[in-house]
Amino acid sequence: MLPLGALCYVTARLLGELYLVRHDTPGGGLLPPTFAGILIAIGSLIASFAPAMIIANCLAWVVRPARRAFEREAAGYPGATLRSANVGLLRIAMLMTPVGLAIGLFAAVLP
């Protein structure tokens, strides 16, 4: 959850700042209290899902007991390795991240 929260916060914060600069409004919070703020939040969440899962996989791999447990669970399934999981997530990220960022940018720059 930490990687997702951190990535989503940073993305929403940057898009919120872009909204404030573009619309010349005073800053009052993380996101504007308009429909654009909702779209920025949804876009940030969509854009952050797959990269956060890749980061979480890598963080779990660093913890040796967790890595051993994951390897034992995946023993009966061919191709269920950290590398194959991250490659699949990277493919998903190549679709979801640009779509999410496009939604957020659309909300930040249009009136």
Give the length of the chain.
111
Share of the chain above pLDDT 90, in %: 49
The pLDDT tens digits of the residues spanning 49-65 come to 999 999 998 998 899 99
Q: Which residues have CB under 8 Å from 48's CB, separation 6+? A: 4, 7, 8, 11, 97, 100
Please report the sign of the dihedral spanned by the C-alpha atoms of residue 88, residue 96, residue 1, residue 11. Answer: positive
Give yes or no for a contact between 99 and 49, defined as CB atoms under 8 angstroms apart: no
Main-chain phi, psi angles of 12, to 5 degrees? -65, -40
Question: Residue 103 has what pLDDT?
Answer: 95
Q: Can you tell me the distance from the alpha carbon of 1 to that of 68, in angstroms, rounded to the nearest whole number? A: 21
Amino acid at 6: A
User: What is this structure's pTM?
Assistant: 0.82
